[in-house]
Structure 1
Amino acid sequence: MVDLFSWLLVFFFIISLLAIIGYQLMSLTDLEVDYINPYDSAARINMLVMPEFVTQGILCIIFLVAGHWFMFLLSLPYLYFNVRLYQKRQHLLDVTEIYNQMHWEKKQRLFKLGYLVTLLVICLFWLLWTVGEVHK
């Protein structure tokens, strides 16, 4: 039963990460089609960078504590990428360079989105497998 709760917790953390990345992508798209100004777009995205990093770190810790080694190893590259961005001080968007970096930032967030969707599909598989095992 504890395994089921850990998978549910992981599911909700992945959904929250997907929402954060989706919001960042929408802000970049709004900037691209000139619905908002660069300052507002950078402020919206920068506001959610640290919650994204913390949520990903907590997700890795949950995988580690719950003993889901495969999922822990799958989520480590994403955590490593975020830590490297933070160490290089490249995790925040610069308002003056946002138009020059927009293509890279969108590509980076689309890759993160695909990565998280893959994790979500694997998590759903294990969640359903655990539910099947509990009901036997």
Structure 2
Amino acid sequence: MDLFILYWILVMVITAGLVSASVFCIVALTDLEADLVNPIDLARRLNPLFSTDISFHSALCLLFLVNFETTLLLLNSVLFGFHMYWLFTGQNKIFAADIFKLLPTYKKRYAIKLGFYIVTFFLYLYWFIYYLIHIYASPALKTMKIPVY
């Protein structure tokens, strides 16, 4: 098996994990808003997830850098920059005392991240299929014109 296939599978698995982590954070914040969980338990659950989210997205950017995927690196560098800003300003942790005043901010942040991760997941899937077709397809299939109706 080609290493490039494993590369794209790894990229899609990491992105699927980031999507699921973002969904979990949105659900947990909504549970706090509906008073189904207390702020201390929420902070205990979500704080390790923030650092994991940042580290997996950093690994994804590193994979793009190593493979010279400049377009994808530039696309992901915006969110990576926000991650670094949140990390260095201390906004990567939830504190139980002030969670209720920052709840709309955190929900908006994770909704935007969820949308970004879903869009990039399908973009990676498209490029993975494009790679498979252009590497492993026969020359006749590569030059085949698809009729547009």
CA displacement at 1:122 relative to structure 2: 0.7
Instruction: Confirm or deny that 1:60 pairs with 2:68.
Output: no
The one-letter code of the counterpart of 1:127 is F
Structure 2 SS opposite 1:93:
coil
Runs of 5+ in structure 2 lacking a partner?
138-149
> 1:1-136 residue pairs with structure 2 within 5 A?
1-136=2-137
Q: Check the 8 A contact 1:3/1:66 in 2, yes or no.
A: no
Runs of 5+ in structure 1 lacking a partner?
none
The one-letter code of the counterpart of 1:49 is F
RMSD between aligned alpha carbons? 1.0
Percent of aligned pairs sharing the same letter: 25
Q: Check the 8 A contact 1:85/1:91 in 2, yes or no.
A: yes
Structure with greater Cα Rg: 2
Partner of 2:142: none
Q: Check the 8 A contact 1:24/1:44 in 2, yes or no.
A: no
CA displacement at 1:97 relative to structure 2: 0.6
> C-alpha distance in 1, partners of 2:20/2:57?
13
Number of equivalences? 136
> C-alpha distance in 1, partners of 2:31/2:5?
39
> C-alpha distance in 1, partners of 2:62/2:45?
27
Structure 1 SS opposite 2:54:
helix
Structure 2 SS opposite 1:8:
helix
> C-alpha distance in 1, partners of 2:24/2:44?
12
Task: Output the TM-score relative to the length of structure 2.
Answer: 0.87
Q: Check the 8 A contact 1:31/1:37 in 2, yes or no.
A: yes
CA displacement at 1:133 relative to structure 2: 2.0
